[in-house]
Structure 1
Amino acid sequence: MPENESKTGSGRAQPPDRLLYTVRAEDSPLTRGLAKLLTSKLNGKNPEEVLAVDGEELVEHFGLAHSLTPQRTNGFVSMIRHMQRQADEKRRERQRLLRGRKKRLS
């Protein structure tokens, strides 16, 4: 496996510019289910793709607006925002690394 890839729990290599999210077992069944919906949609995406996701559109895409209470819907959108913050951190980290490489090459 190339050094710039990490191994996932499934044994598959994950490119460094792609994101991998996991679901915690201690969360409630509903929360785990909602998180699994998100991970199915966002895993393997690059940070820019994750940042481009519109939380409200995703709620509609999964048909959750009519199935969840407003509080649960807000929680789902908060999960998306949390994942987007992680994606933004990853994007910034990648930019710092690229700037460092450019400085070393110049």
Structure 2
Amino acid sequence: MASIQEIQEEIIDEFTMFDDWMQRYEYMIDLGKSLPLIDEQYKTEDKIIKGCQSKVWVNAELEDEKVVFTADSDAIITKGIIAILVRAWSGQKPADIIAADTGFIDEIGLKEHLSPTRANGLVSMIKQLKMYAVAYQAQLN
């Protein structure tokens, strides 16, 4: 499996192929459509990421000492945003997720092209995924 850094580089490369942000938004929507969907049983209040304007559900499970994320959102752009994070971090070791740099988000220009509420939601998504990793890392120690 590719490292977090390698996956983040792939995402950066993919986003640089597009000339403008309308194309990048369309790509994010496509990424959202390919997101490994959360099982309906996990679409509960305790799985909703606080701080997002849209509803975003995230579930994390530890499989072979790696965190596997599934997610969904009721908004197409937000679903694309969580899809990028899930792609970068799902299937990785908790310690690697905790240590992962989120600079690739800035490199693709995502934060600067989001509304303030969506940018806050992005920060909340990152925090929640990392908190899952912290909890699983504690179990492994």
Instruction: Please give the range of the TM-score, normalised by the shorter of the 2 chains.
Output: 0.5 to 0.7
Superimposed CA distance per residue, residues 15-61 of structure 1 (whole angstroms, 9 cap, x where no aligned partner): 5211111122x521111110101011111111111111244x24203
Q: How far, CA to CA, are the matches of 1:67 and 1:32 in structure 2?
A: 16
Letter in 2 for 1:70: P
Structure 1: 5+ residue runs without aligned partners?
A: 1-7, 96-106
Is residue 75 of structure 2 the alignment partner of residue 28 of structure 1? yes
Q: How far, CA to CA, are the matches of 2:100 and 2:116 in structure 1?
A: 20
Q: CA deviation at 1:77?
A: 1.3
2:114 to 55, 68, 74: 68
Q: How far, CA to CA, are the matches of 1:59 and 1:27 in structure 2?
A: 22
| TM-score, normalising length: structure 2 | 0.51
* Structure with more strand by fraction: 2
RMSD: 2.2
Corresponding residue number in structure 2 for 1:88: 134
After the TM superposition, list the runs of 4 or more consecutive aligned residues in structure 1 that deviate by more than 3 angstroms: none
Larger radius of gyration: 1
| TM-score, normalising length: structure 1 | 0.66
Is residue 96 of structure 2 the alignment partner of residue 49 of structure 1? yes
Task: Say how many residue pairs are matched.
Answer: 82
Structure 2: 5+ residue runs without aligned partners?
A: 1-35, 38-61
SS in 2 for 1:19: strand
Greater relative contact order, per chain length (Cα 8 Å cut-off, separation 6+):
2
